[in-house]
A and B are shown apart, each in its own frame.
Chain A
Amino acid sequence: MSVSTDAGRQATAAPTAPYAIELKGISKAFGPVQANKDISIQVAKGSIHGIIGENGAGKSTLMSILYGFYKADRGEIVINGRVTAIPDSQSAIRAGIGMVFQHFKLVQNFTVLENVILGAEEGQMLAGSLAKARRVLRELAEEYELEVDPDALIEDLSVGHQQRVEILKALYRQADILILDEPTGVLTPAEADHLFRILRGLKEQGKTIILITHKLREIMEITDTVSVMRRGEMTATVKTAETSPEQLAELMVGRKVLLHVAKGPANPGATVLDVENLRVKDDQGVERLKGISLKVRAGEILGIAGVAGNGQSELLAVLGGMQAGTGHIRIKGDEIDLTGKHSNGQTRRARGIAHVPEDRQHLGLIMDFTAWENVAFGYHHAPEYQKNRLFMDNDALRADTERKMATFDVRPPIPTLAAKSFSGGNQQKIVVAREIERNPDLLLVGQPTRGVDIGAIEFIHKQIVALRDAGKAILLVSVELDEIMSLSDRIAVMFDGRIMGERDPRSTNERELGLMMAGVTDGGAA
C-alpha cells in the first residue's frame, strides 16, 4: 500500500482533468506557533478530498489561506492550472471558491435570503437581488435537497439548516470548489447523512469538495482522497480506497512511541463520583447532555473518549460547577446542588473536586496574571494563602508557587512571570500543579496534553497516575485516543450527549472505540 503524496497524484491525474486546486509549499506562522509548514496538496476536479488531523494540526488555517482569510507567509495557490493570488475573500469568491467555516458566518436576525445575497447583490436596490435569489434557491433546493424556508430568520433555524444556508451562499456565488471545515462536528447523525447526500449530489455536478473532519467514518464514507495533517505538517495523502481507519489513525497520531505510562493495576475503592441521569441544555435550549450516568471510584481513572463536541465539555462544566444541569451528582454519597447559588466552582472545590479545564488559556488561567497569582486561582480563599482575616499572604503564595514550579518542572521557574509568557506546555503544567497539589478526592481532567510537547505529556501523565495510586478518583476527558488508552482503567465513549458504552482498555482497540465514537453502536454497549 502506498503512502505518499504521489499516491494522490496517480489516483486522479488525467490530462483532461487538471487539478482544481494545487497548493505549493504553503507556510503560515502565528507568532511562535507554526500553524502550517511547507504544505503541498493537489485536489482533482470533481472529487471529494478529505483532510484529517488532531486539534491544532493546522487544517483550518490552511483552508482559511485558500479562502483568502489569512495570507500565507510562503507558497503559491494554483486554481484550475492557473496560479492565482488570493489576497482576500473577494478574490477567492471570484476564483470560484466557497467556504463553510467551522463557526458559521451568518447574520442571526437576517432572513435566509438576506444572508444569501449579502455581498453578492446585483445593483444598489435589494428588490431585484432578493427576487433572483428566491428563484435560484428554489432551483438549488430541488437539485440538491437543500430546502430551507427563504424567509425564515437564521436564529430560528436548526444548526443543520443554518449549515445548508452556508452551502447555499457558496452555490449562489457559483462556487465550483467547496470547502467544509468540520461540517459534521455540530450535526446529528441524521443531519450528517443528509449533508453527505448533498455533497454527493454536488460532486456529480462536477463540483470539487474539500472536507475537513476528525471522524474517520466520514472520510471512509465519502472521500476519494484524504490528506493527513500533524502539527502543521502534511504527513501524507492517500486514496481512500487504498487505506483503512487504523492506518489513518496511525498517520494522524504519528508513529511516535505510544507513550507507555508505567502504571500498575488499579485497585478501586469506594465510589467517589456517582452521576445519574445528568441533563444539560445550552443557551439556545439545545440538550447537550441527554441523561448521562456514570460512576468513578477511588483509585481509578475513568477515561471519556469521544469526538470533540459530543458533550464532554458540558459534562466537565457541570461537574466543575460552571454550568447548571438537572439530575443527580453525588460525591462520596452525598448529593450536591446542580443549580442555584450553591452550585459554583467554589462549592465544588470545597467538596474536594479539582478541575483541570480543557481550555487552559480561557478557563484555567488568567493570561495577564502572574504565575503565582494563577496558582491561587480558584483557591484564593484557601486559609494557607491568607495573612489574616483581611489580607492575602502573597509571600506565602509566591513561596508555594516556587515549590510547585520546582516539583512540576515548570520552565522558566519564575513565579512573577505573566502566564501568557509561558509556553503552552508550561502553562498547562502550572494548571495541573495547582489542581493536583490540592490533593482532591476527585480530579476532573480535560484534554490535559493538548498542544503540549512529548516531554510534558509524559510528566503530566505520571502525575495523574500518581494521584490515582494515592487512592483518588479521576475523570479524564480527551479526544486523543492513545492518551485515553494508555491512562484509563475504564473507558466510556461519548457520542451526541450520551454514553455509547464502556470498555476495558486491555480488551478493546482503537478501531472499536473509533466506531463507537462515530456513533456506530455495536449492541454490546453497556
Chain B
Amino acid sequence: MDYATLLQLLDTTLRFATPLLLACLAGLYSERAGVFDIGLEGKMLMAAMSSGAVAALTGSVWLGLLAAIGGSLLFALVHGVASITFRGNQLISGVALNFIASGITVLVAQSLFGQGGRTPPLTGGARSNPVILPFAEPMRDVPVIGPLYYEVISGHSPLVYLALLMVPVTWWVLYRTRFGLRLRAVGENPAAVDTAGVSVRGLRFAAVMITGVLCGVAGAYMATALQAGFGREMTAGRGYIALAALIFAKWRPWAALYACLLFGFFQALALRPDVVEGVVGVKVPVPALDALPYVLTVLVLAGFVGKAIPPRAGGEPYVKER
C-alpha cells in the first residue's frame, strides 16, 4: 500500500470517525450520569432528517444544524422523562425511540418533499463545506507531513474539527469542573449526590440534554457534510457502533477518540477490500471488516481486552433509601 493510498484511507477514516465520535461523546455524558442510552442511533437519524430538511428549505446549513439539535433534543427529552421522571426501563425507552425515529424521519421527509423519504440534494450554503486550514497550500509540498496535513488534516467540514475539539473539552468538563464532578458522582452513586444536597434529577436531565445536542451535531454532519441531504436509515447503525466505541473506550473521552478513529478506519477499510487484500495478502471478505467493531466490543465486554466497568449506577433509576 503506497503513501497516497494510506493518506486517502486516513482521510476517509477522519470523515467516518466524526459522526461516531460525536455520538460516542454524547453517550458518554448520559451514561456517565447513570442513564444508559441505546437511542443514540435514533437521535442521530432524527437530527440528520431535521437538518437535511431545514437546510433544503432555508438553504442555510446553520439553520439546519439548529434544527438537527432541536430534533435530537426532543428525543432526548422523551428519554429523560421516561427514564428519569417516570423511572422507566432506560433500555426499552432507547429501543422504542430508535424505532420511532427510523419511521418518523421517513414520514416527515416524505410529506415535506415527496421524494421517497429523502430530502432533496443540498448545494452551496445548504451544505457544510470543507474549510482549508491555514498553510495547507504552502505546506503541501513539504515531504511526508505536507501531504498528510493537506490531504488528511485539512479540507474537512468545520463540524469535523468541532468533534475533535469536543474531546479535550469533554475531558476538561468531566475532570476539571464542578459539573463534571457531580456528573460522574451521580453516575456512580446518586445517593451521595442527593445527601450532599444536589438534585439527582437535575444533573441527569442536564446530561441527557447534552447527549441530545451532541447527537444533533452528529446527525447534522451526516446529512450536510458527509452526504448532501438526508436519506432513509442513513445513519446505518452508526449509533450502535458509537455505543460500541464508548464501551471499548471504557467511558473515557480520549480513549473514545481513539476507539472512534479505529472503528472509522475499519469502515474506511471496508470500502477498499483491494487494499486490505494487498496488505494481508489474502482476500478478506468485506462483511468480516464490517463486523470487526462489534466483535471487538464483545471481546471487551467479556473482559478479554481489559474489563469494561460501566458507571456503577448505570441503568438504574434513582430511588431514595438509606
Instruction: Give the interface of A toward B (CB within 8 A).
Output: 60, 64, 67, 69-70, 88-90, 92-93, 99, 101-103, 105-110, 114-115, 117-121, 123-127, 129, 169, 181
Is there contact, CB below 8 Å, between A125 and B176?
Answer: yes
- Give the chain A neighbours of B320 by CB distance below 8 A: 69-70
B184-199 contacts to A, CB under 8 A, are: 184-185, 188-189, 191-198
From A88, A93, A106, name the one whose CB has the most chain B CB atoms within 10 angstroms: A106
Is there contact, CB below 8 Å, between A119 and B189?
Answer: no
Given known pairs A88-B197, A119-B198, the reply for A124 and B188 (CB within 8 Å) is no
Q: Give the distance in Å from the alpha carbon of A123 to the alpha carbon of B194 in the complex.
A: 19
Is there contact, CB below 8 Å, between A110 and B185?
Answer: yes
Chain B residues within 8 Å of chain A by Cβ, number: 23
Residue of B nearest to A101 (CB): B322
Contacts A90-B197, A92-B197, A124-B179 given; 8 further ones with Cβ under 8 A?
A67-B195, A69-B194, A90-B198, A93-B196, A105-B192, A110-B188, A118-B182, A119-B193
Is there contact, CB below 8 Å, between B194 and A64?
Answer: no
Main secondary structure of the interface of B (DSSP, over half): helix
Instruction: Determine whether B100 belongs to the interface, using a CB cutoff of 8 Å to chain A.
Output: no
- Give the chain B neighbours of A114 by CB distance below 8 A: 181, 185
Given known pairs A106-B192, A107-B188, the reply for A93 and B197 (CB within 8 Å) is yes
B268-322 contacts to A, CB under 8 A, are: 312, 320, 322
Is there contact, CB below 8 Å, between A119 and B322?
Answer: no
Is there contact, CB below 8 Å, between A89 and B322?
Answer: no
Min CB distance A361 to B, Å, is 14
- Give the chain A neighbours of B322 by CB distance below 8 A: 60, 64, 69, 101-103, 181
Is there contact, CB below 8 Å, between A119 and B182?
Answer: yes
Residue of A nearest to B320 (CB): A69
Residue of A nearest to B309 (CB): A109
- Give the chain A neighbours of B8 by CB distance below 8 A: none
- Give the chain B neighbours of A70 by CB distance below 8 A: 320
Contact partner of B194 among A89, A121, A169, CB < 8 A? A89
Given known pairs A125-B176, A125-B178, the reply for A115 and B188 (CB within 8 Å) is no
Min CB distance B35 to A, Å, is 17
Min CB distance B235 to A, Å, is 33
Given known pairs A90-B197, A108-B312, A119-B182, the reply for A126 and B191 (CB within 8 Å) is no
Min CB distance A35 to B, Å, is 12
Residue of B nearest to A102 (CB): B322
- Give the chain A neighbours of B188 by CB distance below 8 A: 107-110
Instruction: Determine whether B58 belongs to the interface, using a CB cutoff of 8 Å to chain A.
Output: no
From B177, B180, B322, name the one whose CB has the most chain A CB atoms within 10 angstroms: B322
Is there contact, CB below 8 Å, between A126 and B197?
Answer: no
Cross-chain pairs A/B with CB under 8 angstroms, 15 sampled: A69-B322, A89-B195, A90-B197, A93-B197, A99-B195, A103-B322, A105-B192, A107-B184, A107-B192, A108-B189, A108-B312, A117-B181, A119-B193, A125-B177, A129-B178
- Give the chain B neighbours of A69 by CB distance below 8 A: 194-195, 320, 322
Min CB distance A123 to B, Å, is 7
Q: Give the distance in Å from the alpha carbon of A89 to the alpha carbon of B193 in the complex.
A: 10
Q: Give the distance in Å from the alpha carbon of A115 to the alpha carbon of B192 in the complex.
A: 8
Min CB distance A175 to B, Å, is 12
- Give the chain A neighbours of B198 by CB distance below 8 A: 90, 118-119
- Give the chain A neighbours of B176 by CB distance below 8 A: 125-127
Q: Give the distance in Å from the alpha carbon of A464 to the alpha carbon of B69 in the complex.
A: 67
Q: Give the distance in Å from the alpha carbon of A125 to the alpha carbon of B172 in the complex.
A: 10
Min CB distance B254 to A, Å, is 18
- Give the chain A neighbours of B175 by CB distance below 8 A: 126
Is there contact, CB below 8 Å, between B197 and A123?
Answer: no
Min CB distance B256 to A, Å, is 18
- Give the chain B neighbours of A181 by CB distance below 8 A: 322
Min CB distance B210 to A, Å, is 16
Is there contact, CB below 8 Å, between A126 and B196?
Answer: no
Min CB distance B77 to A, Å, is 25
- Give the chain B neighbours of A106 by CB distance below 8 A: 189, 192
Is there contact, CB below 8 Å, between B191 and A105?
Answer: yes
Min CB distance B144 to A, Å, is 40
- Give the chain B neighbours of A127 by CB distance below 8 A: 176
From A109, A123, A169, name the one whose CB has the most chain B CB atoms within 10 angstroms: A109
From A60, A69, A99, name the one whose CB has the most chain B CB atoms within 10 angstroms: A69
Is there contact, CB below 8 Å, between B177 and A118?
Answer: no
Is there contact, CB below 8 Å, between A119 and B197?
Answer: yes
Q: Give the distance in Å from the alpha carbon of A181 to the alpha carbon of B195 in the complex.
A: 14
- Give the chain A neighbours of B193 by CB distance below 8 A: 118-119
Q: Give the distance in Å from the alpha carbon of A69 to the alpha carbon of B189 in the complex.
A: 16
Q: Give the distance in Å from the alpha carbon of A67 to the alpha carbon of B193 in the complex.
A: 14
Q: Give the distance in Å from the alpha carbon of A103 to the alpha carbon of B179 in the complex.
A: 25
Is there contact, CB below 8 Å, between A107 and B189?
Answer: yes
From A60, A90, A105, A117, name the one whose CB has the most chain B CB atoms within 10 angstroms: A105
- Give the chain B neighbours of A93 by CB distance below 8 A: 196-197
Q: Give the distance in Å from the alpha carbon of A54 to the alpha carbon of B177 in the complex.
A: 44
B137-194 contacts to A, CB under 8 A, are: 175-182, 184-185, 188-189, 191-194
